[in-house]
């Protein structure tokens, strides 16, 4: 059996092993490869940076544990940026398993930036129905969420004073792993003309590039790479930056295997006749 | 996470990873546990967040007015009618609820979609070219739009100028698929990195905590 035939017959479990080692080794012995901040992430950063102190930001963290690898570090970085800028943060989630992730993300970011619940941020919790909530925010936030996640009436929450619809919100940020982003574009950005920033999983990122060009979305943070860029811009060293060495090495391994596999197939099929 | 929770999470992660070697009872145990737990959790959350505040509470507590009762009862009946499809005799009335849902959803979705996804994108596609090097981007976007539309125009054979445009359109599509696939690989690798990070940091304490 030739070398090329052996390459084609390699046990798939060997590939899993390479990928596993390619992931674990850089996490154990990081080299901290350089990360370049792309214009899309820079635009997201600058949009938040440009908000005056005390502005109100609505952050919808519409994701669940299956995509927390990408969106949780992103959420923490974006939340910390908002807190550093002394913005008032209203957090919600439109996913049933979201509260279990949003709550700790808020707590981690708030603790790191010395912020207090109800004074600097509030978490309204989960609400079912994408469109009804998004349209409802145009009418009255209190109708959608009479109480917050901790059952505190919204009127008793200091940062909610005078905030009851999109009219009182300066920026909407949607960190999502689903089509919720489409609806935020349709309703918050297009119908209610609110400035919108998106943070998406890498799988979805390319779908939303056209909205950057049309300025319906002012910034786009895509996947773990985007989160790592945001962390770098914030001068943080979180889970996303920590994972980028592994990301790069695994990509090299995959690219090599693709090239090797195709070359082996090309050579063996040419010899066959 | 407490020590016990960390060990349970690590055990279940390893159970799922064991599928990479081959299918086995540990993997199936984790899979079935996940499906059951997810279904139970979803049911409990929807009950707490939808049925209780929107149906049960308005009917049993607080200030009850004919309007508030009607607004709770009618959606509840429509919701129950959705389940009525399970019985053949009730299949007709079940369609009323679906018709209502389709009507309302279309009313909400169609204008929003047209406004945000069609008109705004068309307006962006035909705007004047950006100055300087940005003009190249604008030209590429316009060329991509026209050639991909040419590819998807099937009412005329792909010959001559139309055929040439369609072939260029295929190239644009392939580049878009390639970029999308690259991002997909990155997303999947991110999921693996997160799990390995959890195992090495939270479970085995081999890497420092963030």
Q: Flag whether residue A167 sits within 8 Å of chain B, measured between CB atoms.
A: no
Q: Flag whether residue B197 sits within 8 Å of chain A, measured between CB atoms.
A: yes
Is residue B92 over pLDDT 90?
no
Say which of B109, B112, B192 has its CB closest to residue A23.
B192
Percent of chain A with pLDDT over 70: 99
Q: Flag whether residue B80 sits within 8 Å of chain A, measured between CB atoms.
A: no
Q: Flag whether residue B48 sits within 8 Å of chain A, measured between CB atoms.
A: no
CB contact under 8 A, A190 and B120: yes
**Length reported for chain A:** 273
Q: Which two tokens stand for residue A8?
A: 């084609």
- Per the DSSP assignment, residues forming a β-bridge with A126 are A93
Number of domains chain A contains: 2
How does the average pLDDT of chain A come out, rounded? 94
Percent of chain B with pLDDT over 70: 100
pLDDT confidence of residue A197: 98
pLDDT confidence of residue A204: 94
Is residue A220 a part of any domain in this protein?
A: yes
Number of Cβ atoms within 10 Å of the Cβ of B49: 17
CB contact under 8 A, B124 and A128: no
- How would you write A231-242 as a 3-class SS string? HHHCCCCCHHHH
Q: Which two tokens stand for residue A243?
A: 């994972």
CB contact under 8 A, B116 and A127: no
Q: What angle do CA A132, A137, A139 make, to 5 degrees?
A: 100
CB contact under 8 A, A128 and B49: yes
Is residue A32 a part of any domain in this protein?
A: no
Q: What is the pLDDT of residues B110-133, one digit of tens each?
A: 999 999 999 999 888 888 888 888
Is residue A43 over pLDDT 90?
yes
Q: Does A171 share its domain with A92?
A: yes
Mutate to test the interface with A, among B48, B71, B186, B206 (most CBs of A within 10 A): B186
Domain ranges in chain B are 134-210
pLDDT confidence of residue B90: 86
Q: Does A90 share its domain with A217?
A: yes
Å from A15 to nearest chain B CA?
10
Question: Mean per-residue pLDDT for B60-68?
Answer: 86
CB contact under 8 A, B183 and A222: yes
Q: Does A120 share its domain with A201?
A: yes
Is residue A155 a part of any domain in this protein?
A: yes
CA–CA separation, A120 and A85 (whole Å): 11
Mutate to test the interface with B, among A109, A212, A214 (most CBs of B within 10 A): A214
Percent of chain B with pLDDT over 90: 69
Q: Does A165 share its domain with A267?
A: no
ipTM value, please give it.
Answer: 0.90
pLDDT confidence of residue A271: 67
Q: Which two tokens stand for residue B135?
A: 């003009």
Name the pLDDT band for B209 (thresholds 50, 70, 90). confident
Name the pLDDT band for A202 (thresholds 50, 70, 90). very high
CB contact under 8 A, B45 and A96: yes
Collapse the DSSP code of A222 into the 3-class scheme (helix H, G, I; strand E, B; otherwise coil) and give the result.
Answer: strand
CB contact under 8 A, B187 and A223: yes
Q: Which of A124, A117, A44, A116 is nearest to A90 (CA)?
A: A124
pLDDT confidence of residue B89: 86
CA–CA separation, B193 and A149 (whole Å): 31
CA–CA separation, A233 and A81 (whole Å): 10
Q: Which two tokens stand for residue B61?
A: 């507590």
Q: Residue A173 in contact with residue A74, Cβ under 8 Å?
A: no
pLDDT confidence of residue A194: 97
Name residues 130-159 of chain B within 8 A of A (Cβ). Answer: 141
Name residues 85-124 of chain A within 8 A of B (Cβ). Answer: 96-97
Q: Does A46 share its domain with A135?
A: yes
The dihedral of CA B140, B145, B146, B149: what is its sign?
positive
Q: Which two tokens stand for residue B68?
A: 């508030």
Helix, strand, coil percent content, chain B, rounded in steps of 5: 85, 0, 15
Collapse the DSSP code of A37 into the 3-class scheme (helix H, G, I; strand E, B; otherwise coil) and give the result.
Answer: coil
Q: Does A15 share its domain with A80?
A: no
Q: Flag whether residue B102 sits within 8 Å of chain A, measured between CB atoms.
A: no
CB contact under 8 A, B115 and A186: yes
How does the average pLDDT of chain B come out, rounded? 92
Å from B160 to nearest chain A CA?
30
pLDDT confidence of residue A273: 58
| H helices present in A66-221, as ranges | 68-84, 99-112, 130-139, 141-144, 180-184, 202-205, 209-213
CA–CA separation, A122 and A119 (whole Å): 8
CATH number of the structural domain spanning residue A198: 3.40.50
pLDDT confidence of residue A250: 97
Name the pLDDT band for B210 (thresholds 50, 70, 90). low
Q: What is the pLDDT of residues A46-69, one digit of tens each?
A: 999 999 999 999 999 999 999 999
Is residue A203 over pLDDT 90?
yes
Q: What is the pLDDT of residues B18-61, one digit of tens each?
A: 999 999 999 999 999 999 999 999 999 999 988 998 899 889 98
Which DSSP string corresponds to B83-134? HGGGSGGGHHHHHHHHHHHHHHHHHHHHHHHIIIIIIHHHHHHTSPPPSTTH
Q: Which of B67, B74, B78, B84 is nearest to B101 (CA)?
A: B78
Say which of B112, B176, B179 has its CB closest to residue A187.
B112
CA–CA separation, A68 and A73 (whole Å): 8
Say which of A127, A238, A242 has its CB closest to residue B49.
A127
Q: Does A113 share its domain with A165?
A: yes
Which range marks the domain in which residue A224 is found?
A: 39-235
Is residue A240 a part of any domain in this protein?
A: no
Question: Mean per-residue pLDDT for B192-203?
Answer: 96
Number of Cβ atoms within 10 Å of the Cβ of B72: 19
CA–CA separation, A83 and A109 (whole Å): 8
Q: Flag whether residue B109 sits within 8 Å of chain A, measured between CB atoms.
A: yes
Name residues 178-217 of chain A within 8 A of B (Cβ). Answer: 182-183, 185-187, 189-191, 201-203, 205-207, 210, 213-216
Say which of B21, B121, B187 has its CB closest to residue A70.
B187
Is residue A31 a part of any domain in this protein?
A: no
H or E element that contains A199? strand A196-200
Nearest CA in chain A to B108: A131
pLDDT confidence of residue A34: 94
Q: Does A113 share its domain with A10?
A: no
Q: What angle do CA A120, A70, B9 make, to 5 degrees?
A: 95
| Side-chain-facing half-sphere of B159: CA atoms under 13 Å | 3
Name residues 54-73 of chain B within 8 A of A (Cβ). Answer: none
Q: Does A73 share its domain with A205?
A: yes
Q: Flag whether residue B123 sits within 8 Å of chain A, measured between CB atoms.
A: yes
């Amino acid at each position: 059996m030739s070398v090329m035939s052996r390459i084609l017959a390699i046990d798939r479990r060997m590939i899993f092993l390479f990928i596993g080692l390619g992931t674990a080794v850089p996490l154990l012995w990081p080299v901290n490869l350089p990360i370049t901040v792309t214009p899309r992430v820079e635009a997201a950063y600058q949009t938040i940076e440009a908000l005056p102190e005390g502005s109100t930001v609505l952050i919808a963290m519409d994701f669940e544990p299956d995509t927390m690898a990408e969106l949780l570090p992103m959420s923490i970085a974006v939340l910390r940026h908002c807190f550093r800028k002394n913005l008032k943060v209203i957090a919600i989630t439109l996913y049933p398993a979201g509260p279990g992730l949003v709550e700790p993300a808020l707590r981690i970011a708030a603790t790191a930036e010395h912020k207090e619940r109800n004074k600097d941020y509030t978490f309204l919790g989960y609400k079912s129905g994408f469109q009804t909530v998004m349209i409802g925010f145009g009418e009255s936030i209190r109708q959608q969420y009479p109480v917050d996640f901790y059952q505190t009436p919204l009127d008793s929450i200091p940062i909610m004073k005078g905030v009851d619809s999109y009219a009182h919100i300066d920026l909407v940020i949607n960190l999502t792993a689903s089509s919720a982003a489409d609806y935020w574009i349709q309703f918050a950005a297009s119908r209610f003309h609110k400035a919108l920033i998106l943070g998406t999983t890498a799988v979805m990122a390319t779908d939303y590039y056209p909205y950057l060009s049309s300025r319906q979305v002012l910034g786009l943070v895509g996947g773990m790479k985007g989160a790592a860029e945001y962390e770098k811009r914030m001068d943080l060293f979180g889970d996303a930056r920590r994972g980028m060495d592994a990301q790069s090495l695994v990509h090299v391994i995959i690219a090599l295997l693709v090239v090797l596999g195709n070359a082996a197939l090309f050579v063996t099929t040419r010899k066959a006749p | 996470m407490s020590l016990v929770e960390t060990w349970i999470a690590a055990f279940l992660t390893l159970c799922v990873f064991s599928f990479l070697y081959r299918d086995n009872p540990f993997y199936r145990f984790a899979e079935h546990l996940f499906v059951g737990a997810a279904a139970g959790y979803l049911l409990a959350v929807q009950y707490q967040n939808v049925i209780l505040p929107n149906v049960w509470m308005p009917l049993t507590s607080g200030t009850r007015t004919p309007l508030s009762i009607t607004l709770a009862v009618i959606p509840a009946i429509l919701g129950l009618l959705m389940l009525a499809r399970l019985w053949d005799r009730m299949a007709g009335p079940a369609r009323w609820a679906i018709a209502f849902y389709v009507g309302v959803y279309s009313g909400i979705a169609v204008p929003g979609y047209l406004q945000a996804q069609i008109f705004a994108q068309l307006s962006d596609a035909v705007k004047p070219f950006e100055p300087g090097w940005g003009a190249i981007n604008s030209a590429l976007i316009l060329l991509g739009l026209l050639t991909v539309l040419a590819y998807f125009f099937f009412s005329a054979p792909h010959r001559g100028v139309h055929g040439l445009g369609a072939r260029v359109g295929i190239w644009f599509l392939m580049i878009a698929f390639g970029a999308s696939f690259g991002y997909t690989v990155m997303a999947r690798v991110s999921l693996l990195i997160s799990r390995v990070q959890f195992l090495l940091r939270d479970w085995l304490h081999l890497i420092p905590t963030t």
